[in-house]
Amino acid sequence: MAAVSGQARRRRSLPVLRRGLWRWVILILAAMYFLLPLYAAARFAGIKAYGALISQSGFTTALWLSVRLAVITTAITLALMLPTAVYVHLKLPGLRRVLESLTILPIVIPPVVLITGVLQVAPGPLKSTPYLLGLEYVVLAMPFAYRAIDAGLRALDLKTIVEASNSLGASWSRTLMQVIMPNLTTGLLAATVLTVAMVLGEYTMASLDLYTTFPVWLVTNDQSSATVTVAGSIFSLFVTWLVLLLITVVGTRRGRRTGRPVSLFTAARQDNRD
């Protein structure tokens, strides 16, 4: 009997081992697919190309413009999408499908059409500032941000949390900031990451709006050699990964500090003190 049970255990463990082996095979193949071209490009460019890249005219200005636009776009997008998604989930659940259809429009409509329409109706003073481009990026980021926040809200018992917070005396703003947001860290983090990645890689709208963001600078700048061009492409990937890594680390640590059940009572206690 013991021999038979041992054979049965070994037979059951074989599929588990095979699944684990296939996971490692797929992981290694995916790593080779993504990392080998980057390694080849980095080796072709060489270390000296990065020094020449930084000394290029307009490099710092273009990079700083892209970073500012990423911050502005993320702040406006979250300020618009978070209260809207929460209100629809709580008060107008029947309009969720309508809102999902509306937020998908920026993906359906070509960016060339969007930027042409915006330039026709935008106020004159706004056209002369890069903030117009940031508002256009808010429209492009809307599908990604809304779906990330919506997925986070679906995972919460939102109605129960809000009713409990209100019953303890917390105001709506306090409930949103100290009860909902700490429990929505993953969704907000995903929305932020997707928005920043979109802004740092967008080319069409920036070029048509005549602003030299970092992607536009990489395409239009008259590089001295092919190695500098390749170094610029790798640098853009590195900057994007670095920003996304910082967002992930900061968001995760903040979620661990604030995302605890006591925040519900803390919000009510602070409102009662006020």
Asked if residue 6 belongs to a domain, the reply is no
Q: What is the mean pLDDT of each run of 10 residues along the chain (274 residues)?
A: 51 61 85 86 82 82 91 93 89 85 86 84 80 90 90 85 83 83 85 88 88 87 71 82 76 56 45 49
Asked if residue 75 belongs to a domain, the reply is yes
Q: What is the dihedral of CA 252, 255, 256, 259, to 10 degrees?
A: -160
Asked if residue 137 belongs to a domain, the reply is yes
**Which CATH number characterizes residue 168's domain?**
1.10.3720.10
For position 265, what pLDDT does the model report? Answer: 43
The beta-carbon contacts of 168-176 under 8 Å, at least 24 apart in sequence, are 168/264, 168/265, 168/267, 168/268, 169/268, 169/271, 169/272, 170/264, 170/267, 170/268, 170/270, 170/271, 171/271, 174/267, 174/268, 174/270, 174/271, 175/267, 176/82, 176/83, 176/86
Asked if residue 30 belongs to a domain, the reply is no
Token digits of residue 44: 């072709």
Residue 53, number of CB atoms within 10 A of its CB: 23
Asked if residue 9 belongs to a domain, the reply is no
For residues 1 and 3, what is the distance between their CA atoms, to the nearest angstrom?
5
Asked if residue 154 belongs to a domain, the reply is yes
* Residue 171 domain boundaries: 48-273
For position 72, what pLDDT does the model report? Answer: 93
Structural domain count of the chain: 1
Residue at 251: amino acid letter: G
